[in-house]
Structures are given as structure tokens and as C-alpha cells.
Amino acid sequence: MSGISGQRLKVGIVGGSIAGCTAAIELQRIGCDATLWERRGDELKDRGAGIGVPLSVIEKFIERDLIDANTPYFTKRATARLWRTEVAQPYGYLAWDQPGILAQLNWGGLYKNLRKRVPDSVYNFDHQVAALHDSGSAVRVELADGTSDNFDLVLCADGYTSLGRRTLFPDISLKYAGYVLWRGFLAEGEMPKAEALERGIACIGYPGGHSLFYFVPERTARLSGASV
């Protein structure tokens, strides 16, 4: 891919998580000169616990060699929508079995697969982007250490506090949705009963909130395509 000058398109990527790594891999493959900045100073650590995506997405990732063919995941074929009450303990009564096939992965395992395909010369740890300036023909990227460079294109994959969003839409601010989210792992061996998850994803509602439970393989597991 060539820029206006006929040279290789120079692309900057803000954020080094799943979306940023995927963009860096694919852009390099089509001939772009990619540079990625991640503000953290070390490897990202299981920030999302588990992650669920349509099965077709995982199949496409494997087809395009974005992840290894033996990347472990579980296939979930339904989401049980449950409502917990005083008389329907401990999981609640079944309101609806929502059909749909999802692949459930370990977030860290997915990230590691993508990260190892991004050369260290492209992936820059501990580099925080401070500002973006669009001149119409190029985007100047300023880093927190005071250095800057120009790029033909900049992609922002830096989450809900995205600098790109703030730059393009300065009048739009985040609004608190009124709830908090807790995420984490629990080893299956520590669960007194795990059969409630054998059918698929369990979404349990109760006054004041809801919980979502599903199996996630260990990073080192080799369970590709296992159906649960």
C-alpha cells in the first residue's frame, strides 16, 4: 500500500492490546510501515479475564494466522438467562435459553498469540501518546517524552479513554452508566458445583445487577474446539 508520495504508507497505532496488535499485524502484511505505542511498561496481564467472540471470528483469525491453530477455546452454544429470587436458589429460574454460538477464550492467551506476531521493532512499550495533530496531509504524533513524528494515518485502539476520540470529538465526555463491573477467574476445582456451566454461559439476574459466568481455558491448555 502506498501513500500520496508513492512511498509505503506510514501508520501509527495508539494502544497495544488485542485490536492494536491485530491492526499492526495486518497492516505490515499489506506493506505498511507500522509503529505501535503502548503506554504500559510491561506485558499486558489478563486484563479481561475471559473473552467471548463469534466462532467465525476465531476461525478467521486462525485462517489468517493471527493466532495459532491450537489456541485453546470452548464453544458455547447457548446463554441461559436466569433470574434469582428467594424461592429460586441458588441459580434462579430459567427465563430464556438464548441460542448463539460463541468461542470463549482466555484473554491473556489471545493477547499473547497476537503479541508474538508483532515485531519488537514495531511494538513500543512504555510510550504514551500525548497529542495528535492533523494537518490535512499528515498526522503529527507527540509522545509524553517530548518526541514527535509524522504519519500518513493514525489508528486509535486505546480503550474507553481514547485520545483519538477526545481529539476528534472534544465536546463529548464520558458519562457514568450507574454501575460497576468486577471481573476475575475462579479455578474450576475451587467450585463446589460446576454443572450449571456445562450447558453454556450462565447470565444470572438479581435485584440490583446481574452476573455472567462461563468456562475459560487456561493459557497453556490445548482444548481447541472443545464443546461445552
Query: Is a pLDDT exceeding 80 seen at residue 201?
Result: yes
Peptide bond into 217 cis (omega under 30): no
Distance set, CA 34 to CA 9, 123, 141, 146, 212 (Å): 8, 9, 13, 20, 37
Mean pLDDT across 156-174: 91
Query: Is a pLDDT exceeding 90 seen at residue 186?
Result: no
Mean pLDDT over each residue of the chain, to the nearest integer: 86
Question: Does CATH place domain 10-168+179-227 in 3.90.1660.10?
Answer: no
- Of residues 86 and 131, which shows the higher confidence score? 131
Peptide bond into 90 cis (omega under 30): yes
Name the DSSP letter for residue 22.
H
Check residue 223 and give its pLDDT: 45
Query: Is a pLDDT exceeding 70 seen at residue 43?
Result: no
Least confidently predicted of 21-25, 49-53, 61-65, 147-151: 49-53
Residue tagged 452508566 (cell numbers): 177
Query: Is a pLDDT exceeding 90 seen at residue 138?
Result: yes
Rounded percentage of the chain residues whose pLDDT exceeds 70? 89
Nearest to 54 by CA among 118, 119, 18, 104: 104
pLDDT tens-digit map of 51-108: 889 999 999 999 999 999 999 998 888 888 888 888 877 778 888 888 888 899 999 8
Query: Is a pLDDT exceeding 70 seen at residue 225?
Result: no
**Amino acid, res. 59:** E
Query: Is a pLDDT exceeding 60 seen at residue 11?
Result: yes
pLDDT tens-digit map of 25-35: 999 999 999 99
